[in-house]
Amino acid sequence: MTEKLLELCAVSKSFGPVQVLREVDFTVRAGEVIALVGDNGAGKSTTVKCIAGIHPVDSGVIRFRGERVHLNDPRAASRLGIEVVYQDLALADNLDIVQNMFLGRERGSSWRLDEASMEEAARRTLASLSVRTVTAVRTPVSALSGGQRQTVAIAKSVLWDSQVVLLDEPTAALGVAQTKQVLELVRRLAHQGRGVVLISHNLSDVFEVADRIAVLFLGRLVAEVKTRDVTQSQVVELITSGRSGGMGLPTMATDVA
C-alpha cells in the first residue's frame, strides 16, 4: 500500500441552502493516479476547490501526510505542495513558456529578473518529465498547440516541487495524438512519486491511466474502486444512478485499495 498524501474525511460543503458535498471521504496516494468522475453537478469542481483552498470546508477534516491541515486559501495549498491545473490552463498567450511557468513567482530582484536561472529551471523541469513536444522554452504560448499548452501547464505545476497535482479535464478539446502525449505525461507524474487526481468525463482516458476511480453522485462519494476491478459500463451506472447492481458496490465511499 502506497503512502497517503492527502485525505478528505467526512468533508461537507454547502452554498446557502444547497448542500454540494455530503461527508466525502477521498484519498490521494503517492505514485498513483486516481480519477474523480461524476455527472455535471455531482460535486467534482467543489471537491477540487476545497482541496485547492478556494472554498473552506464546512465540516470534516483534511489531512496532508497524516497531519490535519486548514486550507484557507490557495497559498496554503501551494505551500504544502498541492497544485491545480484548471481546464482553462491559466496561461498568458502574450508571454513565453518560461515567463508563464514563473508567472507570479519570478526569480530575481524587483528591478532585475534572473532570466538565466528561470530558463534553466524550465528546461530542467520539462526534461525531467521527458517532454519532447516542447523544445524552445522561449516560444510564445500563443504559438503552441493545445497539447503543448497542456504540457506547459502541467510542467508549471511540477516546477514548484508539487506532491499532489490535480488535473481538470486535461484532454478536453485535444486530438488523438495530443491526448496520448498528455496521458503519458500524467503517468510520468505518478511514476515520479506524486499523487495525481484526474478529473475527467472521458472514461477511455480514465481507464487508460488511472489506478483507482472515485465516483461522485449528488455530492456523495458512492464508490472508490480499483480500475482493474470494474468495467466502463459499471462506472457509467455508478455515475448515473449512484450504484451498480452488478457489482454490488456500496453507496458510500470505502477504501478498497
Which pLDDT tens digit goes with each residue over 113-156? 899 999 999 999 988 888 888 888 999 999 998 888 888 988 88
Residue 227 or 256, more confident: 227
Helices (H), the chain: 44-51, 74-80, 97-101, 115-128, 146-159, 176-191, 203-209, 232-241
Which fold does the domain 4-93+164-241 belong to in CATH? Rossmann fold (3.40.50)
- What is the domain partition of the chain in residue ranges? 4-93+164-241
pTM attached to this predicted model = 0.87
Q: What is the pLDDT of residue 245?
A: 62
Cα gap 206→185, rounded to integer Å: 14
- How far CA 65 is from CA of 5, 136, 193, in Å, comes to 5, 37, 14
Q: Give residue 60's identity as a one-letter amino acid code.
A: G
